[in-house]
Amino acid sequence: MATSGPGFTLTDFFASFGSAIRPAARRPFVVHDEDLVELPAGSVPNPTTLRVAGTLPTTTFELFRQVIPADGSSDMQRHYHETVHFVLAGDGHSEIEVPAGPEEVVFWTAGSFIYTPPWAWHRHYNDSGAHPVEFLTIENSRLLGQFGLIRRQSAGLVNMTEAREKFLEDA
């Protein structure tokens, strides 16, 4: 399966997450929390829990419910699509790369919106040792997928400097 460029298809991309996520022509207008499909552990490098509302009839954006456990974090990653996280519960901070500049550390709490620009290294941290953080994650990956422009990289559980060094050739 192609992950970008010629031969890439959005259907193949989402199918790679697991057999339960299959974009189709006929989908419901309402998906309930219990109907969200959890991405199988190991299917993406992000160590958080991701459940996708993959059966909604969206064609330009994708919706996830994401949970970061107490004292946990996401992986250091970047992708071509834009992402907005709405913080449903919890407190934390994010490291986000600023184009042509150093990273910025931003702090957030329930009710905050966190924006991640395209192709910017970023990592989200749960600052609580007792409670999980929960996000509603919205990304325009389906729109970019229609043009064959999906690309994601994960550097794992590293800091910004280590991520930049690991992928220096792709800067």
Q: Tokens for 38, please give them.
A: 């959890």
- 102 band by pLDDT with thresholds 50, 70 and 90: confident
The whole-number pLDDT of residue 88 equals 98
Cite the DSSP H helix spans in 4-155: 10-15, 141-146
Question: How far is 152 from 139, CA to CA, in rounded Å?
Answer: 12
Least confident of 19-33, 50-64, 113-127, 133-147: 19-33
Per-residue pLDDT of 122-145, as tens digits, reads: 999 999 999 999 999 999 998 998
Q: How buried is residue 113: exposed, middle or buried, by Cβ count under 10 Å (0-12/13-18/19+)? A: exposed
Least confident of 45-49, 77-81, 99-103: 99-103
pLDDT of 20 > 70? The answer is no
Q: How buried is residue 34: exposed, middle or buried, by Cβ count under 10 Å (0-12/13-18/19+)? A: exposed
Q: Percentage of the chain with pLDDT > 90?
A: 61
Q: Is the model more confident about 13 or about 119?
A: 119
pLDDT of 36 > 60? The answer is yes
The whole-number pLDDT of residue 13 equals 61
Supply the pTM of this predicted model: 0.81
- 89: Cα separation from own chain's centroid: 17
The whole-number pLDDT of residue 8 equals 63
Handedness of CA 132, 137, 141, 142 (dihedral sign): positive
Q: Tokens for 136, please give them.
A: 């509603």
The whole-number pLDDT of residue 99 equals 76
